[in-house]
Amino acid sequence: MRYIFLFLSFVLTATSAMAQNYPSSEKDAVYLATLKAVLDYKMNDTENIKQLDKLRKDEKFNQKLQEMLEDLDNEKRSSRKDKRVYELLIRAGKNVYNVLD
């Protein structure tokens, strides 16, 4: 838990300067990295661990999640769904970044 906090602190400190000095495409990466670090950190929150473990064992949920992920394409964002998901992730990352900065 301590290492996660240190990693999160490092990411947020590093991204603070980066978000101000990089072009928009690199800002997207900053926001995605921030979002991932915070998600990883919050997934280990004591209040969430039991619920997440329960979901990991839920075959129906895992099957549905896999089906949803199959709709996405990491090679290109050509579909409307891919573009929309990407925009939502960037917006969420930017919001989290701004709250924590």
Q: How many domains does the chain have?
A: 1
- The answer to whether 93 touches 35, Cβ cutoff 8 Å, is yes
DSSP state of 48: H
Residue 84 CA to residue 69 CA, distance in Å, equals 14
DSSP state of 74: S
Residue 78 CA to residue 71 CA, distance in Å, equals 12
pLDDT digits 0-9 by tens, 56-101: 999 999 999 999 998 888 877 778 888 899 999 999 999 999 999 8
- The answer to whether 54 touches 60, Cβ cutoff 8 Å, is no
pLDDT digits 0-9 by tens, 5-57: 555 566 556 545 545 677 877 999 999 999 999 999 999 888 889 899 999 99
Model's pTM, two decimal places?
0.70
Q: Which domain holds residue 43?
A: 2-100
